[in-house]
Amino acid sequence: MGVLLVVGFIVVIATVISRVSQSGEKNTASGATTAPLAVETLIPTGTQIRSLQLNGNNLVVHITPKSGEGGVIIIYDIKKGREHARFTLKPR
């Protein structure tokens, strides 16, 4: 009889732990606890943003000097909140 009580108690504890961990996963998956994305990038003086384009989880930013020659294309990974790649465009 004592063995059945111990086994029953273990089953109840395991069920409670399982349900609590599943509800925590649902809250983080829905994004309820995530903060808005904030990315800071320095843009050199005398440049301008020519275009912004969203492609899936990537934000593509095209920056050129006011002369219009050359420039930089920066790709940000929005989910990770960091710069993914940077391409420097040089005139011929």
Residue 66's domain comprises: 36-92
Return the residue matching tokens 């790709």: 75
Q: What is the pTM of this model?
A: 0.55
Residue 13 pLDDT: 67
Residues 83 and 64 in one domain: yes
Query: Rounded to whole angstroms, how far apart are CA atoms 47 and 83?
Result: 19
Residues 42 and 59 in one domain: yes
Residues 68 and 29 in one domain: no
Query: Rounded to whole angstroms, how far apart are CA atoms 78 and 92?
Result: 32
Residues 88 and 43 in one domain: yes
Residues 10 and 55 in one domain: no
Residues 73 and 87 in one domain: yes
Domain count, the chain: 2
pLDDT digits (tens, 9 = 90+) for 23-75: 555 555 555 556 666 767 777 788 888 889 988 888 999 999 888 788 888 88
Residue 22 has pLDDT above 60, yes or no: yes
- Which residue blocks in 1-92 are alpha helix, DSSP H? 2-29
For 50-64, give the DSSP string. EEEEEETTEEEEEEE
pLDDT band at 12 (very low <50, low <70, confident <90, very high): low
Residues 43 and 20 in one domain: no
